[in-house]
Structure 1
């Protein structure tokens, strides 16, 4: 039985995590959907180049060189590089002449990333496998229901299914480009929204809060101290919902802005960075921090709600807050809401005191950290 070796080359961090989860399932998927007459062997090679290069061709050349050195027949890169062509977001590239494919993970948005990427990898490999002249002899042994070697159907069919809201268009390059086939997301606005969400997902905002234990402790201590006095109780009864919502927005916005300014997370113009990419990374940073601070806010809210329910009797709450009847769940929720907003502002000050390198490491994904280092080097 013929043995076909496929190299999977992910960038560090999120792409690597996804690749490691998919590694053992891909040979079976290739046999099922592509060719049952051969034995597929999938190898993993984590390469920082895939997560550091800003140029698509540079990544493809690197992957092609690695493919030759490792003795693979094909290679597929998983990169966190946002790729554009003529204003459109690129989901995947295929270089038939090099036997290399590339998938841009940010183009897939957020969850469920593993399942969607698995299908995309299978389809992209099908494009490579059937477009290469060396595989034409193997098509007679294709599995039932396998992808047919049709230039218009191979990767396009299932890749399209991974973008139900944003249609995918398959384009071919007959010029001198190293890229033979591209899959772009249309319309442009859908692709940009999806890639921003994908970049923020690559930054893993859920991983920020565990590193902010001291900030959460400071914020909770501040709010708990404020709850000793009846002023907050009375204000929670007097404030309208609109005022509470406004205070929440101010608190979250203030904390995000303070973290960005205090830790120099806003990428400034430099001769090496392009304005379009710079704005994209800055917006991704904002989305990452907003998501993280909202998680932080919900966590604090839950802590305060538990605290006030346990320690403040309903009758005493009624007396001190001048309520018309004993405090109910809504009253406790409003008090927790107000306490959370006020303590979030205090938490912002605590976040500003955290180590700058620590904050940058937990806020940025691998690519943004490399990009920041390069900007600082040439600034």
Structure 2
């Protein structure tokens, strides 16, 4: 790999932000470098200022291959993230001359707001694509990373604040313990963290985990007609039901994070802040996705209870009236057990499927 690095600093002449500039690093395939690098460094500053007012930028470009030939889209995205950590950039965009593939699917670009990185396929932009089209694609990646609403509903000041948080380093005090340092990182980057999570669209996580959902549904169907479960639901207090739901969500969240290797450790001290944010955003994204899964299973279980559980039989077995409250408690119990069944399904998922569902967006 070449270590040649080109850099351009582009302050906005109309503003003078006190915060340091956001450092955007471009990793350009060597075959594309001579054709695109100089033009991108010249064109991007004005384009970034146009779409992201109030943010100052520093640009770097290096001609490197992101991965071995045939590396899939997720592998290239993670390689861009690793290069960003090595170089100390705030955002990384890989530009490749290969088609981005993940299984049977191909993409123009793939972005992880959680990891502040993206990768773009030049061939996928089309045979008539121009340098301007590529520059626009880079800006689109940056906009996703900073949580800009594609429909134009974002507050420019809020976007600029997230950019400021991304570029500002938290002091790393040698004597400070990990808990205190993590609290300072998260407290100083609240808007950025929430933007990362929102951009990853965690509520769609369940749709990407077909095996987990299938196993969970099967578990719920099998337990629905178990009379012993009817008795347990009738006896359980609201507190016990709440604890069951919390345990179910925590079990699936932990299974996904550990099983797919989503938790990261910094390789050097300078990476602590970025990796802390990565991990916090990943945990929140997976947690929200699993909560959505749990609620979907609860609603499905409630429908099954109303359709399949005979009221007279329920009263005879439990001694409780078969009213809506008892049905809700039974559905909550069944949904919780089904979510636990989903933890088993999570172990059956391909790690790439879990990682892609947890924190990437594609076009």
C-alpha separation in 1, matches of 2:187 and 2:37: 31
TM-score between both structures, scaled by the size of structure 2: 0.55
For each residue in 1:310-366, what CA deviation from the matched residue of structure 2 results, as whole angstroms up to 9, or x when unmatched? 11122221111221x3x1111111100001111111110111111111111221236
CA root-mean-square deviation: 4.1
C-alpha separation in 2, matches of 1:295 and 1:316: 32
The counterpart of 1:291, out of the listed 282, 288, 305, is 288
The residue aligned with 1:56 is: 23
Maintained 8 Å contact 1:106/1:199: yes
Maintained 8 Å contact 1:106/1:197: no
Change in Cα spacing, 1:203 to 1:267, as seen in structure 2 (3 Å) is same
The residue aligned with 1:92 is: 55
Give the number of equivalent residue pairs: 237
Q: List 4+ stretches of structure 1 deviating above 2 A.
A: 62-70, 77-80, 90-95, 102-108, 112-117, 159-163, 187-191, 364-367
Q: Which moved more, 1:226-235 or 1:330-339?
A: 226-235
Name the SS of the counterpart of 2:265 in structure 1.
Answer: coil
Name the SS of the counterpart of 2:153 in structure 1.
Answer: helix
Change in Cα spacing, 1:273 to 1:285, as seen in structure 2 (3 Å) is farther
The Cα of 1:283 is off from its aligned counterpart by 0.6
Maintained 8 Å contact 1:67/1:74: no
Name the SS of the counterpart of 1:209 in structure 2.
Answer: helix
The aligned runs of 1:340-351 (5 Å cut-off) are 340-351=335-346
The aligned runs of 1:1-379 (5 Å cut-off) are 56=23, 58=25, 65-67=38-40, 74-76=46-48, 92-93=55-56, 114-117=151-154, 120=156, 159=157, 192-271=189-268, 274-323=271-320, 325=321, 327-365=322-360
Q: 5+ unaligned residues in a row in structure 2: which ranges?
A: 1-20, 27-32, 59-134, 166-183
C-alpha separation in 2, matches of 1:203 and 1:160: 18
Kindly name which structure, 1 or 2, has the bigger radius of gyration based on alpha carbons: 1
Name the SS of the counterpart of 2:263 in structure 1.
Answer: coil
For each residue in 1:262-284, what CA deviation from the matched residue of structure 2 results, as whole angstroms up to 9, or x when unmatched? 11111123139601111110010
Higher relative contact order (CA 8 A, sep 6+): 2
Q: 5+ unaligned residues in a row in structure 1: which ranges?
A: 1-53, 81-89, 121-158, 170-186, 368-379
TM-score between both structures, scaled by the size of structure 1: 0.53
The Cα of 1:160 is off from its aligned counterpart by 6.3
